[in-house]
Structure 1
Amino acid sequence: MLTNGSATGRYRTAMEASVRGRGRITREDLAVAMLALLEQPDTIRHAVGVAG
């Protein structure tokens, strides 16, 4: 679930899978994660799960 809180700097990712556990993440942390994933060549053409 997306929340409106401030960024925590903490998030988890999983390649080709959903992230286990709590599904809450702030919108700011999701944006940071997405930008970080864009810079990683191993994520091209792969699904990536992101959670807080």
Structure 2
Amino acid sequence: MLGWALTFLVIALIAAALGFGGIAGTAVGIAKIIFFVAIVLFVLSLIFGGFRRRSI
């Protein structure tokens, strides 16, 4: 998922450099959403992975 966020960030940087402000803003928004979803999923996997290991 972080790969997708990085891809949208690169798209936003290229679009901003070429002067496409609307596309750049949209790509940055998508990149932010994907990044925060990836962070939340990572934290949840750490929490539930820790619970699973303790019960063994």
Query: Comparing both structures, which one devotes a greater share of its residues to strand?
Result: 1
Higher relative contact order (CA 8 A, sep 6+): 1
Same fold (TM over 0.5): no
TM range (shorter): 0.3 to 0.5
Q: TM-score, length-normalised on structure 2?
A: 0.33
Bigger CA radius of gyration: 2
Query: Comparing both structures, which one devotes a greater share of its residues to helix?
Result: 2
Q: TM-score, length-normalised on structure 1?
A: 0.35
